Amino acid sequence: MSISDTALQQRVVKLGKHASARARDSKVYQLPLWPEPTRGIPNPVLRGALFAAVQGKNRAVFQRELLACQKGLQIRFTGIQLDQSDLDVWEQGLHLARLQPLGTRCEFSVYGFLKALGRKTGKSEHEWLKNSFARLMGCGVELTDQLEHKTYGGSLLEFMRDDLSGRYVVIFNPKILTFYDGGWTAIDWQDRQRLRGKPLALWLHGYLASHAKPYPIKIETLRAFSGSSNKQIKGFKRSLFAALNELKKIDFILEFDFDGDNVIINKPPTPSQQRFLFSK
C-alpha cells in the first residue's frame, strides 16, 4: 500500500469517527410527556429541601450547602435559597418545554406564564417573575447519585427576555434529565394552585404525591427534608398539623395521626399507583 493510500485510509477512518460523534451529539433528549392538568416533577426534587417550605422573606444564602434529601442521593446547593413559588416557576417552564427537544428555545409571553401560575399580571408580578428566574438561573445544584457515584452540576435553567415585547425564551440543558432518572411524579396542578401561599402544605403535597403508600415517618425527618426554618420540633409539629389539615380540605389525604415522634398519613393512591401496588 502506498503512502498516499495509507493517508487516504486514515482520513476515511477519521471522518467516520467524526460522523459517529455527530450522530451521538444529534440524539434527541426530551422530557416525559405528562398530561396537561399535571406537572411532571422529578422525585429527587420532591423528596428533599431543594425547593424549601419557607416564606420568601426568610431565604438563606448558601455556599455548597448539603441539603437534606432521600437516601441514595446527595444535593449540594449554592445561591439564594429556592422556595415553593420558585418550584411553580421551574415546573411551568418544564411543562412548556416538554413538547420539544431539550436544549431548544422555548418561547412564551410573561402575561401567559403568570396567568398559568394563577397570578396577577401587574408590574409587581412581572418583577417577582424576574427575581424567580434570576434565582433559578443563578444557582448551582450538584445532584449526586451515591450508588452510581456520578454528579450533575449546573443551574436549573437559562433564559433570555425581550423587555419591549414581554416575551421570554427559556432553555433547559438536556442533562436536566439526570433529575428524572430517580423517577418522577405527575403533580395535580389545580391542587397546587389551591395551596398557594402555604409553603409547608405545598411541600407535603409534592412529597406525599411521590409515594404510592406513605409509611409512618419521623416528624424530624419531614422538618429536615422540607428545609423548614423552624428549628423547634414543637413549633414545626404545630405547623405540620395545620399543613396536613390543608391537605385534608382539598381531599388529597384522608386522615393523619401523630404517634410519638412519627406521623401516620392515609393517602389514597392514584390509579397508576394502585397498579404499582397491585403489581408488588
Q: Are 165 and 12 in contact (CB under 8 A)?
A: no
- The per-residue pLDDT for 146 is 86
Residue showing cell 409509611: 215
Report how far residue 176's alpha carbon sits from residue 136's, in angstroms, rounded to the nearest whole number: 13
Domain ranges of the chain: 38-279
The pTM (predicted TM-score) of the whole model is 0.88
pLDDT along the chain (280 residues), means of 10: 54 49 64 95 94 92 95 94 98 96 93 96 96 97 87 93 92 91 93 97 97 93 96 95 98 96 91 67
pLDDT of residue 20: 45
pLDDT at 270: 75
Pairing outcome for strands 61-67 and 106-109: unpaired
- Res 200: pLDDT: 98
Distance of alpha carbon 109 from alpha carbon 84, whole angstroms: 22
Report the pLDDT value the prediction gives residue 19, as an integer from 0 to 100.
Answer: 43
46 contacts: CB under 8 Å, gap ≥ 6: 185, 187, 206, 207, 209, 210
Q: What is the pLDDT of residue 276?
A: 63
266 CB burial (10 A radius; 0-12, 13-18, 19+): exposed
